[in-house]
């Protein structure tokens, strides 16, 4: 090699053999496609939970993982007319 390397500690991308450059490019393309499909999956899974199906917001993720904050029918019944049937240690839970 009569040419001086671009950097003395590592090979520059243009100095690599063609097969290695193709491999690195293919890996980056596969990772980019995987990221894109993961984003599409998240959008289709979680969008619309807050009432607007055209966008995905922070509220959609909060509703998906911790609930909407509104009590279920069972929870409202246990806090209301059935509260006297709970054991004393579970009344404040």
Q: What Cα–Cα distance (Å) separates residue 80 from each residue in 68, 70, 74, 85, 88? A: 19, 14, 10, 10, 15
The whole-model pTM stands at 0.58
Q: What is the pLDDT of residues 7-35, one digit of tens each?
A: 778 888 888 999 999 999 999 999 999 99
- CB count in 10 Å sphere of residue 56: 19
Give the separation between CA 50 and CA 84, rounded to whole angstroms.
Answer: 34
Q: What is the pLDDT of residues 44-77, one digit of tens each?
A: 988 888 788 888 888 888 888 887 667 777 777 8
């Amino acid at each position: 090699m009569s040419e001086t390397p671009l950097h003395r500690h590592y090979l520059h991308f243009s100095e690599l053999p063609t097969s290695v450059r193709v491999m690195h490019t293919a890996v980056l393309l596969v990772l980019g496609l995987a990221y894109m499909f993961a984003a599409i999956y998240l959008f289709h899974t979680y969008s619309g939970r807050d009432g607007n199906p055209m966008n995905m917001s922070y509220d959609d993720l909060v509703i998906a993982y911790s609930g909407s904050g509104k009590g279920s029918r069972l929870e409202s019944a246990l806090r209301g007319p059935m509260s006297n049937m709970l054991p004393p240690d579970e009344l404040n839970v």
